[in-house]
Chain A
Amino acid sequence: MINDSGDQALPAPRPCLYRSLEEYAELMRASGTPTGLSDELPRESALPVGLPTDNISRRRFLSLVSASTALAAGMTACSRIDRGSIVPYTRRPREIIPGTATYYASTFQESLATHTVLVRTREGRPIHVEGNDEDPISGGKISLRAMADLLGLYDPDRLRGPSMNGEPSSWQKAEDEIAQALTAAQKAGRPVLLVTEAVLSPTRRALISVLKTAFPNLRHAVWEPAVSQSEFLAARALYGEFALPRFRFDRAEVVLSLQSDFLGVDANAPAMIQAFAARRTPAGPKDPMNRLWVIEGAMTLTGANADERLQVRPSRMASLAFSLARSLNETHGVALPAGVSADGLKPFPLAAAARDATVAPAVLEALAADLKKAGKSALVVAGSALPREAHVACHLLNAMLGSEGYTVDAGTVTPDPGLTTFAGMRDLLEEAAGGAFSAAIFWGANPAYTFPQASVWKGAVAKIPMTVRIGLYEDETALDCRWRLPEHHWLEAWGDFAPAAAVLSLRQPVVGALHDTRQAEDIVLSWLHVPGLELPRSYRDYLRARWKKEVYPAESPVPFEIFWNTALHDGVVKREAPPRPPRVLRADAVADALSAAAIKPPAGELELVLAPDAGVYDGRYANNGWLNELPNPVTKSTWSNPLLLSIADAARLGLRDEDEARVSAGSESVDVPVIIQPGQTQGVASLSLGYGRRTGNVAKSVGVNVYPLVDVTSDHSHLRMAVTVVRTGRRRAVPRTQAHSRMEGRDPARSWTRAEYAANMGSESQKNERSLVSLIPAVPYTEHKWGMAIDLSACVGCSACVIACQSENNVPVVGPERVVKGREMHWIRIDRYYEGDPGNPSVIHQPVACQHCDDAPCEVVCPVNATTHSPDGLNQMTYNRCVGTRYCSNNCPYKVRRFNFFDYTSFIEDPLRLAFNPEVTVRPRGVMEKCTFCIQRIQDVRQRAKVEGRPLRDGEILTACSAACPAGAIVFGDMNDPQSKVARISKMNRGYRMLTELGVKPSVTYLADISNPVDRKGQA
């Protein structure tokens, strides 16, 4: 209101004119007319004081008018206003409150692992996947791939309707033709081939057995190409079945990992990381810690976290493990299991094993003594790539130490998934090539891509008259099939799982089908017309009926409806599992393994270890941008599967980083780029599976398909004993997010042994902070002061936080070319440093996100005030205000700021946009962005607390990274509350902050990584 013009200067308002609702009410009241306006109406005078509207002088008014007119004339052409109309719900769906997230419990399966999850949905669409705390097995932690597969739901490449030979068709036609073909096959007595992924669902298994009843000639192959078969062959030989025991890292004091990657890509790694890391967070140097011994050839994430890491070729692993058994037996008097003779161990002296591992025998003796000391609290795990004998040796060690039944919990296990071996698959395909099968159903698995011998596959599918593909994509297998039937994504589907005998979990659709797809089981049910068997037409009914019969306790007082709804709500059902007798080793299997291990394999120059990729796994997520761009936890490479070579081998072969090399094994060869990997054992090369897909707009032409190198004939399919590597002379870029792996004498990430911990405790870090005196008074934070603590000792570098953050905060994917240029957008990154001998370095991982400095250097230099400080200690970024000078990034010592060099969101096709979190602004081109401490989550919880009229509870606010961290390494909270977890942890004697000498006062405290190597005083 213009005050100096004077009120009397304005004409008195006529009764019918009013300037505000207040005035209207006033006028009406004066004239005695009811207004219908409530007195509670927000009044214009209730505007916060200080807004430019009040007390504007005439002079200022004129200056504003002239300036805005000038600008309006010049600038209106620049604004881009979305003129699309917004229409609210006229009838709101019952469960949907706009702006409020709804969570649904469901279950994710990948290969032999299941994760019970909570799916956050907004306005009916899933936007984030988190762990389900109700799950006693996973403990509420899920793998990064479970989180990232959200993108799979919205993948634009998904099949959108049934098709026949590439021509769109109808479900009815498909049902008729396939059912007819199956019936004809049954009548003719000809076999039908069914290929599925591992079936961990009891109800799906029941359905398949019904299918088998209906078509007795059905041959079922369970195809999991990323699972090496030596592991289950060894278990079948030793115990007669391949049960999946639960490793109790929470009980293990000494862990020996033989080329196992239980912290990396092994099934159920998050649960294992959680239990393992819980024993690695000492509050003082005297606190107990577990110790991780890793003996491995190829560098894995587990090896990177080892306290003691020894290097040996995988082919020599069995004899090394047997020599440990011999040493335990002879030196330490540990009894051998019944029936196993000590003589069999004679050919395995410790000295020879030490020679293989190029360590002093004393080191192996120390290992044996350590294992003996731990007794049943020891745990030996073997990597799936190892030969069968090594797995047997691992079981033998666990049996000798008594850990079988204690740290190896085989009491509640899932049934044998009955995996088909590579040789078994080849036999089936060769039979098919001979015309044995009249029909084949490929449900889920992608054998056209994953089966190593493409010609065998091609010959087989060509000879099967009726081929049916049930899958998500028009992938390699679908292209070879007559019928391509799109199934629901797991977020659209029903299902159940048995992660352990005592736990059942449910899968429920959290969103209606996006496309014309069907529940896979519904497709199968539509073919099943078994006389005398009343089958429901929908799998949901089938599932419910089965649960009512099998799971619902007969004596239960609650009606089934409530039981079922509770189960769906919780996602898991716990129940009494029948006790299982302890597993007993079959001595003859051990004897076989001993004699096999005694024969030295032909030592080629290089052994090749093939393992699933940390991101795209066996190739099933190859079309997922998040997972492609996830830096590999070990190599930090993205969008590629480079060949890892040791420094010595690379020098011998004349290969440098990013040279292309030809890897040949048998008659197969592939051309891949090379990375020289510190810690890789001389004589060992390794490659990741899952790349080099031929279909999918993202997956296509990314990386190299290395499945052809898998050995079909051998037991140890994922370990090639003799491969040759030669230089091709070409160069091939490997997009990596971290180019420099040494700390250069700096200490961003501190790593101490327990002895160093005792010496360093509380010294340098706190001294640093106290010595800084500032002329500028500190800003008081009166209410909250958000802070974070990251325990480097717990962090294993698994990178789950990276994906969680990406999903939560709509972090764009930039593609390999831009990663090469250094433009990746991750708001949180895991820095990985090597220290010590490059041949076998110690590795430290450090998650780094915005440090939310109290005296943030970025804020000072922003010319337009786009980055500012909040009263609760957050360094905020106002995207709307940012013009993109990038000065803030230059002045950020932690280099956590990310710039939108292009309009990355324009790269996103529909329906992928639906995966965006509506709480987080999508950033346009030319704007800086960075970690916000998940401000949307903070605000959400604060508002809830305010509505409920209560103070915030500690631990109530979880940032996406801290919620996802399986190790519990990331703690977020209020530093102003001295009782809060984060405030207490920040004061721990191994706490420090990065670059305190700059005086920027970061809000993130790191706890130094503590390693627990054996006391080497006795050895020299």
Chain B
Amino acid sequence: MNSEAVASTNELIPEILRHPPVLDGVVTPDGLDDQVLSTVERKPPRAWFIAFTCTGIAMLTGLGLMGYTAAMGIGVWGNNIPVAWAFDITNFVFWIGIGHAGTLISAILLLFRARWRNSISRFAEAMTIFAVMVAGLFPLLHVGRPWLGFWLLPYPNQRGIWPNFRSPLIWDVFAVSTYFSVSLLFWYLGLVPDLASLRDRTRSSVRKFIYSVLSVGWRGSAFHWIHFERAYLIIAGIATGLVLSVHSVVSFDFAVSLVPGWHMTIFPPYFVTGAIFAGFAMVVMAMVVVRTTMNLNHIITMYHLEVMNKIILTCSCLMGYAYLLEGWTAWYSMNKFVHHAFWAYIAGTYAWAGWLTIACNVLVPQLFWVRRFRRSYPVMLLVAFGVTVGMWFERFVIIVSSLHQDYMPSAWHLYKPTYVDIGILLGSFGLFFTLVLLFARVLPVIATSETKAALPGAQPRHAGGSYE
């Protein structure tokens, strides 16, 4: 019935303007529940255990080395004077960036009523949460005395000392913690109906108890839905602002300083774009894996992937523009220090990283101009992987290349990472993917309630068209 109606309304729209179907094949609400929610009840497949072992080892390596750093001091890293920040802050900015796609997909696309987001939002949001958790480790870990890190929080104390509100690092603390809390809230709120479904399905008393507590008495009444939708919309509104603000604030760490190569007004939009770019690449990679391994081809469709790939392509072009603008700003500044910093990006010791960044972030994603490539797994994975590598190196170049040669030539010094630096980077990926794997087994990876809303006929319609 519903599909007929959709078909008839679609006929009224010229083909070129028609939205492609958000979901493939025939998805029914019951089938969706069975597909998605039953995962939690089944034993994970072999492949999951293999993956979990790998990520677990990486995570434990990283955590061990983090403990080693905390015990010995920052000296076990390659950092020095002048390169006082290196892998630590690179990883921080990188992971914060990864955490951007989730909220963007959930909040901004929700506000824009881009309904294709419904089937990927849950996963993307979870990745946001985990990425910000991983990112949050680094500011704490990178300080010389992490046990005093709480001094960055403004709390009344007997010393009568407040943090220095002029310092961008304090802004970071606020921006990242706000972002994390709002993202977590948003994610959790979205989870409530699904948790209730899980509660209703499960036969295990322990699970029943856990899901009952987590679903905070959700019964699915109309009132519940009204409140839910309203709250969801409000938080989405708040989160939208945060998507833009958090990475802008992170970029202030650099833009507000006077280090040549950092001190640029372009940084906030440039960082936000880069973050969305890297975040989407990570989501695409994860989605390809989830889609194929969890048998969700008809829910996370090729259409989803293609849309995300288009966003990646857009961001890539914006990044290219930002890189060009950086060069232009350097040239236009007529400032020898900025000239030198830019020259170091493209011809200095770390120029290989600079060119790798440009190749990965600007050149490789251009493949997505071709529709066939946008819909090809290998190309998708190649581009997404390239963007992930490229965005990590972009931050590396910004931080290390700018610092290693700044104002005083006498103080110039090269930076070389140690095994601890590399181990912690590896460990951060391990931690992230371990959390992702755990999530995939204990919580619904698809927002079933929202996806149902995207099913044909789920939305009210009227003569002449529908929301879809």
Q: Which of A59-75 contact B (CB under 8 A)?
A: 60, 63-64, 67-68, 71, 75
Give B71-98 as 1s and 0s: 1 = Cβ < 8 Å from A's Cβ atoms. 0111100111111110000000000000
Q: Which of A52, A926, A928 has the most CB of B within 10 A?
A: A926
Contact assessment for A860 and B145 in the assembled complex, using a CB-CB cutoff below 8 Å: no
Known: A739-B412, A863-B170, A864-B163. A884 touches B158 (CB 8 A): no
Contact assessment for A848 and B75 in the assembled complex, using a CB-CB cutoff below 8 Å: no
Contact assessment for A901 and B167 in the assembled complex, using a CB-CB cutoff below 8 Å: no
Q: Which of A879-900 contact B (CB under 8 A)?
A: 881-887, 889-891, 893-895, 897-900
Show 30 A/B contacts (Cβ-Cβ < 8 Å), sorted by A. A51-B160, A52-B160, A60-B156, A71-B155, A78-B148, A738-B410, A738-B411, A744-B340, A748-B410, A823-B75, A823-B81, A831-B408, A832-B410, A848-B410, A860-B256, A861-B169, A861-B256, A862-B167, A863-B163, A864-B151, A865-B161, A881-B151, A883-B149, A884-B74, A885-B142, A893-B258, A895-B408, A901-B73, A925-B144, A925-B145
Known: A743-B409, A744-B340. A881 touches B145 (CB 8 A): no
Task: Mark B residues whose CB is within 8 Å of A.
Answer: 72-75, 78-85, 142-152, 155-158, 160-164, 166-170, 173, 253, 256-259, 336-337, 340, 403, 405-414, 416
Contact assessment for B144 and A887 in the assembled complex, using a CB-CB cutoff below 8 Å: no
Known: A822-B81, A857-B258, A883-B149. A901 touches B74 (CB 8 A): yes
Shortest Cβ distance from residue A58 to the other chain B in the assembled complex, whole angstroms: 14
Residues of B within 8 A of A743 (CB): 409
Residues of B within 8 A of A886 (CB): 74, 79, 84-85, 142, 144
Please give me the residue from chain B that is nearest to A52 by CB atom: B160
Contact assessment for B410 and A740 in the assembled complex, using a CB-CB cutoff below 8 Å: yes
State A53–B23 Cα separation when bound (angstroms): 66
Shortest Cβ distance from residue B423 to the other chain A in the assembled complex, whole angstroms: 18
State A167–B259 Cα separation when bound (angstroms): 61
Q: Which of A811-861 contact B (CB under 8 A)?
A: 818, 821-823, 829, 831-833, 846, 848, 857, 860-861
Please give me the residue from chain A that is nearest to B413 by CB atom: A822
Contact assessment for A739 and B414 in the assembled complex, using a CB-CB cutoff below 8 Å: yes
Contact assessment for B80 and A891 in the assembled complex, using a CB-CB cutoff below 8 Å: no
Residues of A within 8 A of B144 (CB): 882-886, 899-900, 925-928
A515 close to chain B: CB less than 8 A: no
Residues of B within 8 A of A739 (CB): 412-414
Please give me the residue from chain B that is nearest to A861 by CB atom: B167
A995 close to chain B: CB less than 8 A: yes
A903 close to chain B: CB less than 8 A: yes
Looking at chain A's contact residues, the main secondary structure is loop
Shortest Cβ distance from residue B176 to the other chain A in the assembled complex, whole angstroms: 13
Give A725-756 as 1s and 0s: 1 = Cβ < 8 Å from B's Cβ atoms. 00000000000001111111110100000000
Contact assessment for A862 and B164 in the assembled complex, using a CB-CB cutoff below 8 Å: yes
Residues of A within 8 A of B169 (CB): 861, 863, 885, 887
Looking at chain B's contact residues, the main secondary structure is loop
State A894–B85 Cα separation when bound (angstroms): 16
Residues of A within 8 A of B157 (CB): 64, 67-68, 71
Question: Given known contacts A823-B81, A926-B73, A926-B143, what 16 new A-B pairs fall within 8 Å (CB)?
Answer: A67-B156, A71-B157, A743-B409, A822-B80, A822-B82, A865-B163, A883-B151, A883-B152, A884-B74, A890-B82, A893-B258, A893-B406, A899-B74, A903-B73, A927-B144, A995-B407
Nearest 4 A/B pairs, CB to CB: A884-B144, A926-B144, A901-B75, A822-B80
Contact assessment for B84 and A889 in the assembled complex, using a CB-CB cutoff below 8 Å: yes
A18 close to chain B: CB less than 8 A: no
State A577–B414 Cα separation when bound (angstroms): 58
Residues of B within 8 A of A239 (CB): none
Please give me the residue from chain B that is nearest to A846 by CB atom: B410
Known: A864-B152, A864-B164. A883 touches B145 (CB 8 A): yes
A96 close to chain B: CB less than 8 A: no
State A339–B169 Cα separation when bound (angstroms): 81
Contact assessment for B410 and A833 in the assembled complex, using a CB-CB cutoff below 8 Å: yes
State A893–B170 Cα separation when bound (angstroms): 22
Give A573-605 as 1s and 0s: 1 = Cβ < 8 Å from B's Cβ atoms. 000000000000000000000000000000000
Residues of B within 8 A of A822 (CB): 80-83, 413-414
Kindly identify which residue among A64, A895, A927 contacts B81, using a CB–CB cutoff of 8 Å. A895
Q: What is the interface residue range for chain A against chain B?
A: 35 or more
Residues of B within 8 A of A863 (CB): 151-152, 163-164, 167, 169-170, 173
Known: A925-B144, A926-B143. A746 touches B409 (CB 8 A): yes
A902 close to chain B: CB less than 8 A: yes
A21 close to chain B: CB less than 8 A: no
Q: Which of A857, A893, A998 has the most CB of B within 10 A?
A: A893
State A76–B407 Cα separation when bound (angstroms): 43
Known: A884-B145, A885-B143. A742 touches B409 (CB 8 A): yes
Shortest Cβ distance from residue A855 to the other chain B in the assembled complex, whole angstroms: 11
Residues of B within 8 A of A882 (CB): 144-145
Residues of B within 8 A of A860 (CB): 164, 166-167, 256
Known: A739-B412, A748-B408. A821 touches B73 (CB 8 A): no
State A863–B151 Cα separation when bound (angstroms): 9
Shortest Cβ distance from residue A456 to the other chain B in the assembled complex, whole angstroms: 45
Please give me the residue from chain A that is nearest to B405 by CB atom: A740
Q: Which of A746, A860, A861 has the most CB of B within 10 A?
A: A861
Contact assessment for B84 and A899 in the assembled complex, using a CB-CB cutoff below 8 Å: yes
Contact assessment for B336 and A893 in the assembled complex, using a CB-CB cutoff below 8 Å: no
Give A614-652 as 1s and 0s: 1 = Cβ < 8 Å from B's Cβ atoms. 000000000000000000000000000000000000000
Q: Which of A24-80 contact B (CB under 8 A)?
A: 51-52, 60, 63-64, 67-68, 71, 75, 78
Residues of A within 8 A of B407 (CB): 746, 748, 893-895, 995, 998
Please give me the residue from chain B that is nearest to A64 by CB atom: B156
Q: Which of A823, A890, A902 has the most CB of B within 10 A?
A: A890
Contact assessment for B164 and A895 in the assembled complex, using a CB-CB cutoff below 8 Å: no
Please give me the residue from chain B that is nearest to A832 by CB atom: B410
Known: A883-B145, A884-B74, A901-B75. A890 touches B409 (CB 8 A): no
State A1000–B407 Cα separation when bound (angstroms): 13
Please give me the residue from chain B that is nearest to A748 by CB atom: B408
Shortest Cβ distance from residue B377 to the other chain A in the assembled complex, whole angstroms: 42
State A437–B156 Cα separation when bound (angstroms): 80
Contact assessment for B81 and A899 in the assembled complex, using a CB-CB cutoff below 8 Å: yes
Known: A862-B164, A887-B169. A893 touches B151 (CB 8 A): no
Please give me the residue from chain A that is nearest to B403 by CB atom: A890
Known: A823-B75, A863-B164, A890-B257. A895 touches B406 (CB 8 A): yes
Please give me the residue from chain A that is nearest to B254 by CB atom: A890
Shortest Cβ distance from residue A2 to the other chain B in the assembled complex, whole angstroms: 16
State A833–B410 Cα separation when bound (angstroms): 8
Shortest Cβ distance from residue B376 to the other chain A in the assembled complex, whole angstroms: 43
Known: A821-B78, A860-B166. A926 touches B145 (CB 8 A): yes
Contact assessment for B257 and A740 in the assembled complex, using a CB-CB cutoff below 8 Å: no
State A891–B337 Cα separation when bound (angstroms): 14
Contact assessment for A861 and B257 in the assembled complex, using a CB-CB cutoff below 8 Å: yes
Contact assessment for A75 and B410 in the assembled complex, using a CB-CB cutoff below 8 Å: no
Shortest Cβ distance from residue B388 to the other chain A in the assembled complex, whole angstroms: 26
Please give me the residue from chain B that is nearest to A77 by CB atom: B147
State A75–B149 Cα separation when bound (angstroms): 11
Please give me the residue from chain A that is nearest to B169 by CB atom: A863
Residues of A within 8 A of B152 (CB): 863-864, 883
Shortest Cβ distance from residue A801 to the other chain B in the assembled complex, whole angstroms: 16
State A743–B411 Cα separation when bound (angstroms): 11
Contact assessment for A75 and B80 in the assembled complex, using a CB-CB cutoff below 8 Å: no
State A577–B45 Cα separation when bound (angstroms): 100
State A525–B93 Cα separation when bound (angstroms): 73
Residues of B within 8 A of A925 (CB): 73, 144-145
Contact assessment for B408 and A848 in the assembled complex, using a CB-CB cutoff below 8 Å: yes
Kindly identify which residue among A67, A864, A998 contacts B258, using a CB–CB cutoff of 8 Å. A998
Q: Which of A78, A744, A863, A881 has the most CB of B within 10 A?
A: A863
Residues of B within 8 A of A903 (CB): 73
Residues of A within 8 A of B80 (CB): 821-823, 901
